[in-house]
Amino acid sequence: MKTIFPTIALFSVFFGVFFAALGPTTFGQSPSERDPELPECQFSFLQHNIIEIAAEKAGVLRHMSVREGSLVDEGEVVARIDDQEAKMQWQVAEQQRLAALARYNDEIEKLYAVKASEVAKADYEGLLDANSGSIDKVVTETDLRRAKLEWERADLQIEKAGKDKTLAGYEYLIRKAEVAATNMEIDRRIVKAPFAGQVMELFKKQGEWVNPGDPLLQYARYDTLRCDGRVSLNDYDPREIEGCDVTVTAVVGRGVAVEAKGKITYVEQLVQYEGQYTYRIQAEIPNQLQGGRWLLLPGLSAKMTIHLDPTRRSSSARRQ
């Protein structure tokens, strides 16, 4: 018994030195040498990829061109609100624009002013000539001043014609803007799909009255899905995971497995403890249409493999 206690004391000193050399931040923190495999991931919509498309203007819903389940391309018309009044306003604005353009292009006033100035100048100079060849003044000073005034007035008419043309140009621009505004009013009664997607639910029927802001239909984007999973904090530093490429595999029915590529777009800063500390990651996965249906669907479970960057993994190990 006397020889046991020195041995125990020796081992205690040895392990104390060993753990002190490891340090508090090193023990159990070295990153794994293999790519993470997350067996329990799930697909869902991206936050901004499921929306309600609403009416912008009040009126009767004249045409609903889709039904629940319809696949729609970006920019495709899904509904039309009555636009007869807006079209009449456009016709009025267009006629006013054409009239303003005609006034702007009209050169008659300027041409007349130029001719009138030439005649007035000739009359004034003729009166001067009549007086210059005679000792007695044939033309009185009053008549000369009146003739000169007519000439100057004709010159001012030329200047006024130029200013009137400038004002006509401004009026044309105003009328052109009014046409654009009425076109916008017509367009706001045409409801288009903001992106390629699928109609999930209709809220209004053809022939119903709608007010601005009334939801017409629920619409979802399937061409890019989100896939969520959880990574062990003990095994992988979040800085290793950010921006990594991923491969996801999901069973889509009858045992058919579909594989798709994507990228990590979000690494959560909050950790949870469920036997070990984990943090949530999110990847964006491009989807594909096949036979008129999307291969990957929100709600499906998936297995995700995260392809780590070896250089980033090494730098993470050095930081620890």
pLDDT digits (tens, 9 = 90+) for 45-81: 998 889 999 999 999 999 999 999 999 999 999 999 9
Taking the domains of the chain in order of start, what are their residue ranges? 29-46+222-319, 50-82+189-220, 84-187
Residues in the chain, how many? Answer: 320
CA nearest 157: which of 127, 120, 124, 125? 120
Start-end of H helices in 133-237 = 141-187
Average pLDDT, the chain: 85
Torsions phi, psi of 62, nearest 5? Answer: -75, -35
- The architecture CATH gives domain 29-46+222-319: Beta Barrel (2.40)
Rounded Cα distance between 227 and 225, Å, is 7
Rounded Cα distance between 286 and 291, Å, is 17
pTM of the model: 0.64
pLDDT tens digits for 172-231? Answer: 999 999 999 999 999 999 999 999 899 999 999 999 999 999 999 999 999 999 999 999
DSSP for residue 300? -
Q: How does strand 293-294 pair with strand 277-286?
A: unpaired
Which residues does residue 63 pair with via DSSP β-bridges, in sequence order?
80
> What CATH number should be reported for the domain whose range is 50-82+189-220?
2.40.50.100
Range among 117-121, 160-164, 173-177, 195-199 rated most confident: 173-177
Q: How many CB atoms lie within 10 A of CB 131?
A: 16
Which residues does residue 246 pair with via DSSP β-bridges, in sequence order?
262, 306
